[in-house]
Amino acid sequence: MRSHGRSGRLIIFDAGGAGCGLGADGEGRRAGLDGRSRAANFRRVVADGEVGGGADGGNGAGSGEEGVFEKVAGEHAWGAGDARGDEGEGAFAEGFGAEDVLFSATPLVKPCTGCFGCWTRTPGVCVLRDRCTEMPRLMARCDTLALVSPLAYGGFSRAVKAVLDRAIGYVQPFFRTVENEMHHVPRYEDGFRLEAHFYGPSSGPEREVARRLVRANAINYYATSFDVRFHETLGEAKEALR
């Protein structure tokens, strides 16, 4: 297994709301995850050069124009456009610590193709070239992975789920028994704390399904601990993280 010094938080967030309606400032947002206009408003960068050396020999961002939403030297690496963004990304990103790496799940990343190249051909690196190429390595460097998502039928939004699908290279293709269940062998030593912050309308059964899902995710990721919280709005989820 590979050893990485872990520090800081990786916060993967969907501020689009998937129709839940409230942005980080508490104001209404139009539903939907497409939001193409917002892509021009923000500058994308790879995480401080730490996640370099991808399969393409470059900085891990591939040939795409998008990279990881990040904060550098205490300032967010966002462009000078609308600081709030169409769906609240900019508003959500304000006020976090210098070691926090923020990754917006929207616009949607390319879906996992199921080729398993990140397990064998390019271990820990997705063969698709976009801003999600080295997500497993980002996860390997954080001591806390926080997932922020509207609650969708007891699970994550399709945007957050797409990011997690692209991160299957965080573990190895081999199996072993954990708590009488078959799970993948870990690729990296140690582990991170897993937090899930769901926001928006929810029912009791939905919350129970979400708790069970995150517990299963924690086992799959070999998390040191996990926590599941539910919030009325995205703004409340943000405050819980600060």
Q: What is the CATH number of the domain that holds 85?
A: 3.40.50
Q: What is the pLDDT of residue 93?
A: 86
- Tell me which H or E stretch contains 240: helix 234-241
Mean pLDDT of 37-58: 35
Q: What is the pLDDT of residue 189?
A: 86
What average pLDDT does the chain have?
77
Mean pLDDT of 28-46: 33
Q: Which of 22-36, 98-112, 149-163, 190-204 has the lowest mean pLDDT?
A: 22-36
Q: What are phi and psi of 39, to 5 degrees?
A: -60, -30
Is the per-residue pLDDT at 84 higher than 90? no
Q: What are phi and psi of 44, to 5 degrees?
A: -105, 135
Is the per-residue pLDDT at 14 higher than 50? yes
Mean pLDDT of 180-186: 93
> pLDDT for 106-126, tens place per residue?
999 999 999 999 999 999 999
Is the per-residue pLDDT at 62 higher than 80? no
Q: What is the pLDDT of residue 206?
A: 97
Give a yes or no: residue 2 inside a domain: no
DSSP code for 37:
G
Distance between CA atoms of residues 134 and 120, nearest Å: 15
Give a yes or no: residue 18 inside a domain: yes
Q: What is the pLDDT of residue 58?
A: 39
Q: Confidence class of residue 227 from pLDDT cuts 50, 70 and 90?
A: very high
Give a yes or no: residue 1 inside a domain: no
pTM: 0.74
Residue whose C-alpha is closest to residue 17's, from 9, 6, 26: 26
Q: Confidence class of residue 228 from pLDDT cuts 50, 70 and 90?
A: very high
Residue 180 belongs to what domain range? 9-241
Is the per-residue pLDDT at 25 higher than 80? no
Q: What are phi and psi of 106, to 5 degrees?
A: -120, 145
Lookup: tokens for 156: 């994550």
Written as one string, the DSSP assignment of 139-181 is HHH-SEEEEEEE-BTTB--HHHHHHHHTTGGGEEEEEEEETTE
- What domain count does the chain have? 1
Give a yes or no: residue 3 inside a domain: no
> pLDDT for 138-174, tens place per residue?
999 999 999 999 999 999 999 999 999 999 999 999 9
Q: What is the pLDDT of residue 178?
A: 85
